[in-house]
Structure 1
Amino acid sequence: MTDHDDGVDLAVAAFREDGEWVVADLTHDHLVDLDSLAGGLRQLGGLAGALGMVVFEEDFLLLVRVEPGRTRVLLSDITAAEDWDLAASALEHLGLPLPEDDDDPVPAGHLDILSDLGVSIQDLADLLDDEDLYPDEMLSDVARTLGFGDLFDDADDLTSA
């Protein structure tokens, strides 16, 4: 597996503070494994929780949402666990085995991770299936739906649509 900080295109946390969305960069120390990431998100989001959004090499994304008493995870491509420690840690958290060589690049985890915030399971599944979008563009669409699209795009240096 590769070093945990190589190939990270984007690693941000989104959380609400005084009723407003805040987007903050995550450090590479947060990306060692899922426990490190979840711990960092808990520190940033406090009791209200936070959402971690990570993109690796324009190839796959990882969403991690921490709330009091639970951590939910969505990995866009299970085969990423073959090369990335953080992806392997996400599968372990989900209780799933590492992928086989012939496994398809399918998502794993909680497709309902954002449904209470306005991104339905079907909308998220459709985004993940869109082969014309890069992972950061998928997350930009998610962020726009959640209400912090411009903050996300600024963190990712994307041009707003």
Structure 2
Amino acid sequence: MSDATVTDLDFAVAAYTEDGNWTVTPLVLRGEPDLSTLVSALRRYPGEAGVLGLVSVDEDFFVLVRVLGGRARLLISDVTAATEWPLARQVVDELDIPLADDDDEQVPAGDLTIIADLGMTAMDLGALCDDVDLYPYEMLEEIAETLGFGNQFQDAIEAVG
């Protein structure tokens, strides 16, 4: 692990549907965000298809969490982030995958089908995560647009900033 002790959180938002309409709201995560706190915060929201947590960290990687019932599904955009960021390390540990080396390529890990039933296929999500020219917030913005809550996503991000 590096000297990083506090994650520079770009933003964290929750997105969920009620009566077929998306609601996106900023998540308030105090101190160092950790996976259990994130999942607990998401469980507070309703959602016919569960609730999505979209988290961008230091313009380096994103975490996508979907809480549905008692289950949390996870996707991280870059497994190599686990060598530097505590939240990324927790996600990689929860996924039970080996820690990547610093010199490994940026690759996503986790459930690429996490939002397939909402409108973005695993292939499209994987291709998006593989686009090294995009920042994590741009990837999350694309996900939000594809799923149909792009405007609400932008409003929530602006409310955080």
- Normalising to structure 1: TM-score of the pair? 0.88
- 1:1-161 correspondence to structure 2 within 5 Å: 2-4=4-6, 6-29=7-30, 32-45=33-46, 48-157=49-158
Q: 2:29 & 2:37 partners in 1: Cα distance?
A: 10
**3-state SS of the aligned residue for 1:45?**
coil
Q: Mark the runs of 5 or more structure 1 residues left unpaired by the alignment.
A: none
Contact 2:12–2:53 under 8 Å retained in 1 = yes
Q: 2:31 & 2:115 partners in 1: Cα distance?
A: 21
CA change 1:93–1:47 in 2 (3 A) is farther
* Cα deviations by residue, 1:75-100 (Å, 9 ceiling, x for unpaired): 01111111111111101111113223
Amino acid aligned to 2:106: P
Q: Which structure exhibits the higher relative contact order, with contacts defined as CA atoms closer than 8 Å and separated by 6 or more residues?
A: 2
Q: 1:30 & 1:71 partners in 2: Cα distance?
A: 22
Amino acid aligned to 1:50: V
Q: Mark the runs of 5 or more structure 2 residues left unpaired by the alignment.
A: none
CA RMSD in angstroms comes to 1.9
